[in-house]
């Protein structure tokens, strides 16, 4: 008779477990965030806008226009987008560095190219430029904005872009660095 009680007990425990389980709650969190996908999209399209600008009305003007377009489009999804970018263009003996600031307030970019440092002040929603004279076919860039330092290596024979963008919605924040 002892064994039957174990069976009944087991059944009872099973019933408790199955009816007590929160059926619609998942252990693993579902993917709900669309912001990382939008940042991937912008990482692909900003360099594309730059290339179209080189063949069109100018890389900086085109990039500025596309950034404003992206900020508006992100805003329609409830996302606050801020970004800055630097465009590096070879002028033969010098490298022209154009900076676009869409971070909401004026910023000073401390730009270091292969050891030489210059400060570039850019007003909110506008652009400014400076020149450097690095040697060699490639040069290292580091940018300091609001204490954040980042950068990479650029090739001299192509117009390059370095950008940092931030997408914010409520407490969610996605940051992306673009180097192309």
Partner 1 sequence: MRGVWKTIEAIIGGLIILLFAAALSSNYMNISPSVPVHGYRALSAAYDKGEFRAYAAAMNYSGINEMVEATGYLQGYNHTVQVCSQGGSCAGIQPSKENVWVAGIMVAGDQSYQPMEVILYMYRE
Contact 95, 88 (CB under 8 A): yes
45 binds partner 1 (CB under 8 A): yes
Beta strands in 103-158 (DSSP E): 107-113, 116-122, 126-132, 138-145, 148-155
**Residue span 87-126 as binding mask against partner 1, x where in contact by CB under 8 A, dash where not:** ----------------------------------------
Rounded to an integer, what distance in angstroms lies between the CA atom of residue 81 and that of residue 45? 15
Rounded to an integer, what distance in angstroms lies between the CA atom of residue 12 and that of residue 151? 63
Q: What is the CA radius of gyration of the chain?
A: 26
Report the nearest approach of partner 1 to the CB of residue 7 (Å): 6
48 binds partner 1 (CB under 8 A): yes
41 binds partner 1 (CB under 8 A): yes
26 binds partner 1 (CB under 8 A): yes
- Please enumerate in sequence order all residues whose Cβ is within 8 A of that of 110, keeping only pairs 6 or more positions apart, or say none: 117, 118, 119, 120, 143, 144, 145
Which one among 39, 60, 64, 66 touches partner 1, defined by CB under 8 A?
A: 66
What SS3 state is found at 67? helix
Which one among 20, 23, 137, 171 touches partner 1, defined by CB under 8 A?
A: 23
168 binds partner 1 (CB under 8 A): no
Length of the chain measured in residues? 180
| Strand (E) or helix (H) holding 1 | none
C-alpha closest to that of 153 among 95, 93, 77 = 95
User: Cβ closer to partner 1: 51 or 110?
Assistant: 51
Which one among 19, 20, 27, 91 touches partner 1, defined by CB under 8 A?
A: 27
Residues engaged in binding partner 1 (CB under 8 A): 3-4, 6-7, 10-11, 14, 18, 21, 23-24, 26-34, 37-38, 40-42, 45-46, 48-49, 52-53, 55-57, 62, 65-66, 69-70, 73, 76-77
């Amino acid at each position: 008779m002892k064994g039957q009680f174990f069976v009944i007990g087991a059944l009872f425990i099973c019933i408790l477990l199955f009816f007590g389980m929160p059926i619609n709650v998942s252990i693993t969190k579902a993917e709900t965030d669309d912001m990382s996908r939008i940042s991937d999209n912008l990482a692909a399209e900003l360099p594309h806008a730059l290339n179209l600008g080189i063949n069109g009305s100018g890389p900086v003007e085109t990039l500025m226009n596309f950034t404003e377009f992206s900020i508006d489009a992100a805003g329609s999804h409830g996302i606050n987008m801020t970004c800055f970018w630097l465009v590096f263009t070879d002028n033969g003996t010098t490298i022209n560095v154009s900076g676009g600031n869409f971070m909401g307030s004026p910023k000073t970019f401390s730009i270091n190219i292969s050891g030489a440092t210059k400060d570039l002040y850019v007003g909110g929603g506008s652009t400014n430029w400076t020149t450097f004279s690095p040697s060699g076919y490639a040069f290292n860039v580091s940018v300091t904005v609001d204490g954040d330092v980042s950068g990479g290596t650029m090739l001299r024979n192509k117009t390059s872009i370095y950008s940092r963008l931030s997408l914010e919605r409520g407490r969610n924040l996605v940051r992306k660095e673009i180097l192309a």
